[in-house]
Structure 1
Amino acid sequence: MAAIQPQLNYLYDSRENRRFQRVPVTLFGRYMLESRREYPCQTVEMSPGDMTLFAPVKAQIGEKVVVYLDEIGRFAGVAMRQTDVGFALSMNLPPMKRDKLADQLTWFANRHAFNLPEDRRHERITPLMQRTLVRLPDGQEIIAKIKDISLSGVGIETEARPYLGAKVIIGTTPAVVVRHFEGGIGAEFEKPFHPGDIDESTRL
């Protein structure tokens, strides 16, 4: 079988002031704007010089942003453009941190080629008590079914489609809608649970 070639080379240009090719990668975390407000986020693509985020509240162009990604740590940057689902920021990393990030992105880019399992930020379980009450941004309350739950978020089976970034209350737990899927929504808890807090007996 032919050896799998690492993809590190395409992250770099040979010039000193190099531009980096972005790698599609899904990492979860939080970001803080200059207002000191924090929100959940998810990367869409990333390079050692910039990242594009799926984000419920867009940063203004030129605004300073701090991003903490669960798997790879803290990054500071400046918003350089807005997108339909969030914004992109540029980063000026020290050489050592930039090289480390390039190695990490190479691993993520090659993960599927090596047939490694897709990582999730936290293990998801299906609770025994699946029915819960969801309060929508307009105050409407609906009964929904919990598809799965983790320390950081929950999948809800419902016909309701609150907008991405909408703040909802699931049972008594505040959360933010971060994705839509067929038959339901995904939400990130505003304050993640601690390890050991979530099991099959958990009731939101």
Structure 2
Amino acid sequence: MTTAAINAAPSRTERRNFQRVRVKIYGRYMLEDRSEYPCQVIDMSPGDVAFRADNFGQLGEKVIAYLDHIGRIEGVVTRRLDGGFAMTIIASERKRDKLAAQLTWLANKHELDLPEDRRHERVSPRNPMTVLALEDGRSYQCRIIDLSLSGAAVELDVKPALGLPVTLGTMRGRVVRHFEDGVAIEFAALQREDTLVKEFSGTIG
């Protein structure tokens, strides 16, 4: 860990003073060996973050994470949790101020605590059959259960990993939830109603 990184990392006393926020944010993280894994934030403050994840780094190992709604953060593994790990966030004072504002906004909106994103009304498209494609070239026939401007629930025989980038029809997104018969997908960007109607012959309320 460099002297600059140590100076940028908040002290233990500073971290205790940060307000932790429980939010459901998905993303991916990269360890020092450049291996990447999906993750979900359990709680987060401008000074540290706890992840639910299957693969942990070593204590003191540097981690770079890319989180939905937050962007890129980096830090150092401080402890292992049951089913995950926690890390200190290395950031400038300006970056921490931005994180604090983002977390406050997310907590106040409560938008990420809603099941597979209920920010927009969901409907069943008239043409529910489509193809779900993975980045490695595999693709699967699937049926859209319901659809909104921001995401979709699809009936699918396989369960791509949480956080995995996928393409539904021509819409890019990532897997955000598993359920018994399929997965929920959050689109990479808010879609236009006319685009979804043209793609899936649906009507969005």
TM-score for both structures, normalised by structure 2 = 0.57
CA-to-partner distance for each residue in 1:110-142, whole Å, 9 max, x for gaps? 335xx9x9795x979765432246799xxxx97
> Which is worse superposed, 76-85 or 42-51?
76-85
**Residues 171, 49 of structure 1: alpha-carbon distance in 2 compared, 3 angstrom cutoff:** closer
1:78 counterpart letter in structure 2: V
Would you say the 8 A contact 1:128–1:201 is kept in 2? no
Q: Secondary structure at the match of 1:96?
A: helix
Q: In 2, Cα distance between the equivalents of 1:49 and 1:29?
A: 18
Tell me which residue corresponds to 2:95. Answer: 97
Cα shift at 1:45: 1.2
Cα shift at 1:145: 1.8
Q: In 2, Cα distance between the equivalents of 1:37 and 1:170?
A: 23
**Residues 58, 175 of structure 1: alpha-carbon distance in 2 compared, 3 angstrom cutoff:** farther
Would you say the 8 A contact 1:132–1:170 is kept in 2? no
Tell me which residue corresponds to 2:30. Answer: 32
Q: In 1, Cα distance between the equivalents of 2:185 and 2:145?
A: 11
Tell me which residue corresponds to 2:64. Answer: 66
Q: Secondary structure at the match of 1:202?
A: helix
Unaligned runs of 5+ in 2: 1-11, 201-205
Unaligned runs of 5+ in 1: 1-14
Would you say the 8 A contact 2:37–2:55 is kept in 1? no
**Residues 176, 47 of structure 1: alpha-carbon distance in 2 compared, 3 angstrom cutoff:** same
Would you say the 8 A contact 2:38–2:164 is kept in 1? no
Q: In 2, Cα distance between the equivalents of 1:49 and 1:27?
A: 16
Q: Secondary structure at the match of 2:197?
A: coil
| Pairwise CA RMSD | 4.6
Cα shift at 1:24: 0.5
Tell me which residue corresponds to 2:46. Answer: 48
Q: Secondary structure at the match of 1:24?
A: coil
